[in-house]
Chains A and B, each alone.
Chain A
Amino acid sequence: KNEVEQSPQNLTAQEGEFITINCSYSVGISALHWLQQHPGGGIVSLFMLSSGKKKHGRLIATINIQEKHSSLHITASHPRDSAVYICAGENYGGATNKLIFGTGTLLAVQP
Chain B
Amino acid sequence: EAQVTQNPRYLITVTGKKLTVTCSQNMNHEYMSWYRQDPGLGLRQIYYSMNVEVTDKGDVPEGYKVSRKEKRNFPLILESPSPNQTSLYFCASSYRTGRGLSHEQYFGPGTRLTVT
Whether A95 and B50, one on each chain, are in contact in the complex, defined by CB atoms closer than 8 angstroms, is yes
Return A70 CB to nearest CB of chain B, in Å: 14
Question: B99 to chain A: which residues have CB within 8 Å?
Answer: 50, 92
Question: B112 to chain A: which residues have CB within 8 Å?
Answer: 41
Within 8 A of B (CB), among A12-57: 30-31, 33, 35, 41-45, 48, 50
Question: A99 to chain B: which residues have CB within 8 Å?
Answer: 33, 35, 43, 45, 102, 105
Seen from chain A, the residues whose Cβ lies within 8 Å of a Cβ on chain B are 30-31, 33, 35, 41-45, 48, 50, 86, 88, 90, 92, 94-104
Return B47 CB to nearest CB of chain A, in Å: 11
Question: A92 to chain B: which residues have CB within 8 Å?
Answer: 99-101
Whether B40 and A90, one on each chain, are in contact in the complex, defined by CB atoms closer than 8 angstroms, is no
B113 at interface, CB cutoff 8 A: no
Within 8 A of A (CB), among B36-55: 40-45, 48, 50
Q: How far is the CA of A88 from the CA of B48 in the complex (A)?
A: 15
The chain A residue sitting closest to B101, CB to CB, is A31
Whether B42 and A43, one on each chain, are in contact in the complex, defined by CB atoms closer than 8 angstroms, is no
Whether A97 and B106, one on each chain, are in contact in the complex, defined by CB atoms closer than 8 angstroms, is no
